Amino acid sequence: MQDIRWRAFWLAILAAFLCLILWSMTSAITALGVFTLLVLCYLAYHLFWLHKLTFWLKKPSLSTIPQGKGIWEDVFAALYHEQRRLGHSQTQLNSALDRFRNAASALPDGVVLLNGSDDIEWCNPPAEIQLGLDLVHDVGQPISYLVRHTEFIHYLQDHDYLEPIKLKSLRYPDATLEIQVVPFGDNQKLMISRDISHLEKLDHMRRDFIANVSHELRTPLTVVGGFLETLSDMDGAVPESSRNYFAMMLEQTGRMRRLVEDLLTLSQLESSQSVPQDSEIDIPALLNMVMTDSQSLSNGRHHITLQADSSLCLSGAAEELHSAFGNLVSNAIRYTPQGGEIALSWQMRGHEAVFSVRDSGIGIEQQHIDRLTERFYRVDRSRSRETGGTGLGLSIVKHILTRHQARLEIQSEPGKGSTFSAIFPAARIVHKQTALLQ
């Protein structure tokens, strides 16, 4: 570009010099006329090649690019090389796109590419089968017109894609799909669908098995425990030399009964697809009951305090929340040495309501915290046997909180205790005009 400007500058200087010579030899009018003619010729020359360039740009092709003369020869040469580079880049992009489409088509999961307006740009064959799409006819159509699940439409509109959702297939009623949207690029989305029907069937079989076995075990355990208690209470029925064995049998029978009850509770929570029957819960009154239960379990071995905002209540299932709060407190009691402190708190934190249990117990190492809510996961199995834990308490808590759109936060440091917090969203909070109770 710099070279073109200099050429134009020197041509203008040369034309002016020639006109000055002509002026000195003839007259000013003649010189001005010649200068004007030169400028018009120069302009016509460039207009001619500009027209050629404009005509070529309508259908750019390496085979039809003009040769050009003078300055325009350099311009067209530069365009030629740029067009070759773009053509090479376009070929590479098309090749990469073809490889991506071939790879995505080979995936067993459905893949749908959506633009910023949630219109379909492309989908692979599994997506056509699972979601009932047709790539030929549905390109450019909004995905919500074709996947008409109310839950999916809400999921798409809420823009909260951290967790996938499960949907029943409209084409195959027995099929269950797991769908997740992944945002990328310039406001685009990748929608991935997966057929999890076999996993759902296995999970359903597992839940049924656990529920049936637990139900069948409950009756014989109750009978055995009842007879053991009766014999222990009868004078002379149990020799003094055998009383320790009877005490051990009673203890282990009680532990098995607690395990069966927890398994039944967890199975019921996992099997229930409906939301809890909401009612207004007086949480401070419920926490007073939890406090009474915790003092009975502690039997004076711990210093337990409760601080609750009595104006703060919740909408939810009272029995489920009682179970969740009770499990958090009983865990704190079991893993806090005698003489330790346990503080219960029910307060607002920002726009959320928080029930927290803080203890001065043994604490938990960071690598265990993410797995604490797994079924039967124990940090220290020998200590769990000593304290009588079933390994299901936190799993029950997690399921109950999830059913109430709440979450569990765990903070802990070995040797300094732990804090377990159940955090409820603003939609669940009910306020009452009462004083703060200590």
List the CATH number of the domain containing 340.
3.30.565.10
Domain of residue 72 covers 2-95
Percent of the chain with pLDDT over 90: 13
Same-domain pairing of 284 and 407: yes
Query: 386 falls in which pLDDT band (50, 70, 90)?
Result: low
Q: How far is CA 173 from the centre of its chain?
A: 26
Could you tell me if residue 431 is inside a domain? yes
The domain total for the chain is 4
Question: Which token pair is 112?
Answer: 């749908």
318 has a pLDDT exceeding 60: yes
Could you tell me if residue 307 is inside a domain? yes
379: amino acid identity, one letter: V
Same-domain pairing of 80 and 183: no
Helix pair 243-271, 393-403: axis angle to 10 deg: 20
Same-domain pairing of 305 and 429: yes
CB within 8 Å of 396: residues ≥ 6 apart? 262, 265, 266, 269, 323, 324, 327
CA atoms within 13 A on the CB side of 320: 25
pLDDT of residue 438: 41
Could you tell me if residue 137 is inside a domain? yes
pLDDT of residue 2: 47
Could you tell me if residue 101 is inside a domain? no
Percent of the chain with pLDDT over 70: 89
- The residue whose two tokens read 């017109």 is 145
In the listed set 164, 195, 226, which residue is the last one of a domain according to the structure? 195
What is the mean predicted confidence (pLDDT) over 20-40? 75
In the listed set 95, 125, 158, which residue is the last one of a domain according to the structure? 95
Same-domain pairing of 120 and 218: no
Could you tell me if residue 309 is inside a domain? yes
Q: Beta-carbon neighbour count of residue 214 at 10 Å?
A: 19
In the listed set 71, 95, 119, which residue is the last one of a domain according to the structure? 95
Question: Which token pair is 191?
Answer: 């929608």
Q: What are phi and psi of 310, to 5 degrees?
A: -75, -5
Same-domain pairing of 243 and 266: yes
To 10 degrees, the CA torsion angle through 292, 294, 297, 298?
-110
Q: How far is CA 242 from the centre of its chain?
A: 57
More confident residue, 306 or 102: 306
Q: What is the mean pLDDT of the chain?
A: 80
Range in 16-30, 145-159, 263-277 the model is least confident about: 263-277
Same-domain pairing of 414 and 293: yes
Pick from 77-81, 370-374, 417-421 the range whose average pLDDT is largest.
417-421
For residues 71 and 7, the answer to whether their CB atoms sit within 8 Å is: yes
Query: 356 falls in which pLDDT band (50, 70, 90)?
Result: very high
More confident residue, 71 or 125: 125
Same-domain pairing of 340 and 383: yes
Same-domain pairing of 259 and 112: no
To 10 degrees, the CA torsion angle through 327, 328, 333, 339?
-160
436 has a pLDDT exceeding 60: no
For residues 149 and 167, the answer to whether their CB atoms sit within 8 Å is: yes
Same-domain pairing of 284 and 309: yes
What is the mean predicted confidence (pLDDT) over 93-97? 74
Could you tell me if residue 100 is inside a domain? no
Same-domain pairing of 178 and 293: no
Could you tell me if residue 418 is inside a domain? yes
Could you tell me if residue 150 is inside a domain? yes
Same-domain pairing of 401 and 283: yes
Q: How far is it between the farthest Cα atoms of the chain? A: 150
Reported as a single tens digit per residue, the pLDDT across 98-133 is 777 777 777 888 889 899 888 998 888 888 888 888
Query: What DSSP assignment string belongs to 200-251?
Result: HHHHHHHHHHHHHHHHHHHHHHHHHHHHHHHHHHSTTTS-GGGHHHHHHHHH
- What distances in angstroms separate CA 379 from CA 15, 395, 398, one per listed residue? 94, 14, 17
The CATH number linked to 138 is 3.30.450.20
CB within 8 Å of 434: residues ≥ 6 apart? 310, 311
> Given strand 407-413, what is the order of strands in its sheet?
407-413, 417-424, 352-359, 341-349, 303-309, 436-437
Range in 174-183, 247-256, 322-331, 423-432 the model is least confident about: 247-256
* Strand pairing report for 110-114 and 120-123: antiparallel
Query: 7 falls in which pLDDT band (50, 70, 90)?
Result: low
More confident residue, 375 or 125: 125
- The residue whose two tokens read 């990469």 is 96
Question: Which token pair is 15?
Answer: 């034309």
Same-domain pairing of 303 and 422: yes
